[in-house]
Amino acid sequence: MTVPATHALETSLPKGDLAARAARVAAIAAQYAEDVDRQGRFPRETVDALKAEQLLGIQIPAELGGENAGFAAIAEICTTLGQACASSAMIFAMHHIKCSSLVEHAQDNAWQRSFMARVADAQLLLGSATTEGGIGGNLRNSICAIEIDGDTCRLEKDATVISYGSEADAILITSRAHKDAAPSDQVMTVFLKGQYSLEKTVDWDTLGMRGTRSDGFLFKGEAPAVQILPKPFADIAAQSMLAASHILWSGVWYGIAVDAVVRAQSFVRAAARKSQNTAQMGQMPPGALHLAQAANLLQLVRSNVVAALHAYEEAKNDGDKLSSFGFSVTMNNVKIASSETIIDIINQAMLICGIMGYKNGTPYSLGRHLRDAHSARLMISNDRILANTSTMLLVHKLDTHLLG
């Protein structure tokens, strides 16, 4: 991955202090994180706080009431929230992945711009329905097809997962473009709450990320046909969703790992203070070596995400570059590296904290972190991503430069 030596990522925003707003939300998320995980419930308190701080509309263009926030600023918030409550952070990330589909592909579409203004003004929470029974987790294929009847469109979809579907204010959902379309000839449609019904088919009872409440539903919707996004989903997926997903998810995962290492560091410091009053005075605590290893891995994840942000900034105004094999390989590698490495980091932290990390309810508990982290390799299976990358590498020339 090429990283320019002099290229600053834009994280400052014109409205208020974004870091302070995110920190206030994170404090609320941390307060309820254990209960959200234990009960497997939607983190209503966090989402209410996100809306109160107007963080759901920050990606929307300023002329439509938003704050022009880029992926760097949003990923930073994902990391802040990830240190408090991974489910809350993932909901925030998924919402902004959906926002990117609107922002990056509006093409001066009147309805889409009006809807973006509504997202910013009313702080609407956007859900995602890209998976479907029978496609094996491949979001680039659909079985269901949108039906267009004059100015109206209708869709029925067996959506095995809809991100926080019951709580969303609108759902962006994929389907074939028409009944005769190939499985990969897809469109994305926005359905507002009140324009669809959800019949629950699968309960979200999972190992981790329990608060995202991504239940499965039989989705039935009817809306004005103008709510079908004008760009093919293939372009949306390649030119915005790929980067948004892998970068923002990685921001969440990095946040989980940061909090695990912070807890491990606190444990080692406490052990060091205790040793000052014993015969072991002056000796390094047993976990200190593992702490150094965890910190090293944590820096690798951070560098990986920052490099991905630079790569996206370089490519974001060039549709051909965004759709290129080289860019896809870069983003795929970000996801693979981040999702695999955070598990190693949290395992190191667990070794440091020992039984106090293994037990629930201690200041050093890491069970929730580890369970949440194991979702990372499954969100678009790493095996599927590696298979796609291996195909592209047959024709793509690797970048052999360090700085470009």
Domain assignment present for residue 64? The answer is: yes
> What percent of the chain is modeled with pLDDT above 70?
94
Tens digits of residue pLDDT in 67-93: 999 999 999 999 999 999 999 999 999
pLDDT exceeds 60 at position 278: no
- Name the domain boundary from 122, 143, 170: 122
What is the model's pLDDT at position 8?
A: 43
> In Å, how far from its chain's centre is CA 7?
24
Statement to judge: residues 389 and 254 lie in one domain: yes
What is the model's pLDDT at position 3?
A: 35
Statement to judge: residues 151 and 134 lie in one domain: yes
Statement to judge: residues 242 and 265 lie in one domain: yes
Statement to judge: residues 68 and 170 lie in one domain: no
Contacts with 72 (C-beta within 8 Å, 6 or more apart), sequence order: 9, 10, 11, 309, 313
161-175, 201-215, 284-298: lowest mean pLDDT where? 284-298
pLDDT range class, residue 16, cuts 50, 70, 90: low
89-93, 231-235, 252-256: lowest mean pLDDT where? 231-235
pLDDT exceeds 60 at position 254: yes
- Name the domain boundary from 81, 107, 122: 122
- The total number of residues shown for the chain amounts to 404
DSSP 222-256: EEEGGGB-SS-HHHHIIIIIHHHHHHHHHHHHHHH
C-alpha–C-alpha distance, residues 133 and 137, integer Å: 8
Q: Which residue in 72, 10, 370, 4 sits closest to 243, CA to CA?
A: 72
Torsion angle in degrees (nearest 10) through CA of 269, 273, 274, 278: 130
Geometric angle at alpha carbon 162, from 160 and 165, rounded to 5°: 135
Q: Is 181 exposed, middle or buried, given 0-12, 13-18 or 19+ CB atoms closer than 10 A?
A: middle
Q: Is 83 exposed, middle or buried, given 0-12, 13-18 or 19+ CB atoms closer than 10 A?
A: buried
Write the DSSP symbol of residue 359: S
What is the model's pLDDT at position 281?
A: 54
What is the model's pLDDT at position 112?
A: 95
Report the relative pairing of strands 216-224 and 126-129 from DSSP bridges.
Answer: unpaired
C-alpha–C-alpha distance, residues 251 and 262, integer Å: 16
Q: Read off the pLDDT of each residue in 264-271 and give the average, rounded to a whole number.
A: 93
Q: What is the CATH number of the domain that holds 188?
A: 2.40.110.10
What is the model's pLDDT at position 107?
A: 72
Tens digits of residue pLDDT in 57-71: 999 999 999 999 999
Domain assignment present for residue 400? The answer is: no
What is the model's pLDDT at position 5?
A: 36
| pTM tops 0.85, yes or no | yes
- SS3 for 128? strand
Q: What is the CATH number of the domain that holds 61?
A: 1.10.540.10
Statement to judge: residues 249 and 365 lie in one domain: yes
Statement to judge: residues 192 and 255 lie in one domain: no
How high is the mean pLDDT of the chain? 92
> In Å, how far from its chain's centre is CA 138?
17
What is the model's pLDDT at position 404?
A: 62
C-alpha–C-alpha distance, residues 332 and 80, integer Å: 23
What is the model's pLDDT at position 365?
A: 98
- Name the domain boundary from 231, 266, 296: 231
> In Å, how far from its chain's centre is CA 273?
38
What is the model's pLDDT at position 4?
A: 36
| Positive or negative torsion for Cα 195, 201, 203, 208 | negative
What is the model's pLDDT at position 286?
A: 78
Reading the block at residue 90, the tokens are 């993932």
126-140, 152-166, 390-404: lowest mean pLDDT where? 390-404
Give residue 63's domain range. Answer: 18-122
C-alpha–C-alpha distance, residues 353 and 343, integer Å: 15
Tens digits of residue pLDDT in 338-381: 999 999 999 999 999 999 999 999 999 999 999 999 999 999 89
| Positive or negative torsion for Cα 94, 96, 99, 105 | negative
